[in-house]
Amino acid sequence: MPETQKIDTASPEVVRQINRRVVLNLIRTRQPISRADLARLSGMQRSTISLIVEELLNEKWLVEGDAVPLPRGRRPTFLRLNENRVVIGIDLRPTELTIALADINGEFLSKDVIPTPQDPKAALEAIKSRVEKIISLWPRKSIQGIGLSLPGRVHPETGTLTFAPNLKWVGEDLKAPLAAAFGLPVELENAANNCVLASLWFDQPAENFVVLTVSEGIGCGVLVNGRLARGVNGMAGEFGHVALNPDGPKCGCGNDGCWEVYGSNRAALRYYAESNPQAARLTFPDLLRLADQDDTQAAAALDKMAHHLGLGIRMIVTALAPEKIVVIGDLTRSWSRFGQRIEAVLAARTLPGGHTPQILPAHQDGLARLRGTVALVLQRHFSA
């Protein structure tokens, strides 16, 4: 059935719901905005806009600002989303756990960072006690739900972790215990997918792009033709676990020679330890600092990591032909070191007719994952 016919035969209730979401999204992206501009941008009648806005004001999705005097005596009032609607965002990483409160516009009201308890039950208890604290500290806010960003893949139906090689909590259900404890909607998503959502929701939209999170492992979120690629069991985009060398070192996933054992932060630390066996155990930021202080072995380890990142990115470019690839992680602090090397590897072997995408470092990486949790929880009210 052609699209237009589908819309013609839609019930009045479906049309009303779609119009409501169009208006909500216009307000979200253009706020503060007047009713006249909503009518102009949506192509809806002024009377339709007035009814929808009235409903959204009654439901406290919106607030109305003061009348603004304009030339020729018109005094429109401007509408914006109600900042009292908030989301609890949780960014669970193998070493660090962040529990934050953000408003509907992705502005953070509080943020608490603790080391990740290695036992999943202990981690759940730690999360619960922080969420309880947030609820008691912000009694006037209307909490819309809890969004979790995870270093792994989540089964779309059960919400259990199906694949988390750097966390090793496979089969853990984080969703049901949190939903039961707080009576709030709980949404879970892979960290890289969350960054794709954050970018779609808060930044310039693009139809085809990839987010690469480089840390203990390499995560990948893929937007194809404007849609997040999820695949069967939510497993799409695991480029980090494609073998670059089947005879290579063991990976956390159980296979050998995956891209992430060559291009992750851990890989760079291994390269450094190999050339410098007496060196004390370092963190990745230590390695970046040493390279900046002209430690040639540290610089060589980072260069080897960058080269291998380039090799894997070439695989993504060949498979998906994205407009841009956004790279997230500590390595963006030394982007002059990484960016050039990656671009050189890409430029060396492009396909005839192929397109070389922009490779962009994203700063404030923790923010992208947390803002993604806001989009994750709110999207069911906004998506058409």
Q: Which amino acid is at 120?
A: P
The least CB distance from residue 238 to Zn ion, in Å, is 8
Strands (E), 93-170: 96-103, 108-115, 142-150, 153-154, 161-163
Transcribe 8-39 into DSSP letters.
Answer: HTS-HHHHHHHHHHHHHHHHHHH-SB-HHHHH
The least CB distance from residue 241 to Zn ion, in Å, is 4
* Nearer to Zn ion (CB atom), residue 184 or residue 253: 253
* Nearer to Zn ion (CB atom), residue 231 or residue 354: 231
The least CB distance from residue 253 to Zn ion, in Å, is 3
Query: Rounded CA gap, 239 and 149, in Å?
Result: 19
The least CB distance from residue 167 to Zn ion, in Å, is 14
Residues 6+ apart with CB under 8 A from 239: 218, 220, 259, 312, 315, 316, 319
The least CB distance from residue 152 to Zn ion, in Å, is 12
* Nearer to Zn ion (CB atom), residue 260 or residue 365: 260
What's 339's DSSP letter? Answer: H
Q: Where on the chain is the footprint of Zn ion (CB under 5 A)?
A: 241, 251, 253, 255, 258
347 token code pair: 């430029």
37 token code pair: 């501009």
* Nearer to Zn ion (CB atom), residue 41 or residue 253: 253
* Nearer to Zn ion (CB atom), residue 258 or residue 367: 258
Helix segments in the chain, DSSP class H: 3-8, 12-30, 35-42, 46-58, 120-137, 175-182, 191-202, 260-263, 265-275, 284-292, 296-320, 335-348, 365-382
The least CB distance from residue 153 to Zn ion, in Å, is 13
Nearest to 86 by CA among 98, 104, 99: 104
The answer to whether 191 and 201 have CB atoms below 8 angstroms apart is no
The least CB distance from residue 242 to Zn ion, in Å, is 8
* Nearer to Zn ion (CB atom), residue 159 or residue 312: 312
* Nearer to Zn ion (CB atom), residue 167 or residue 258: 258
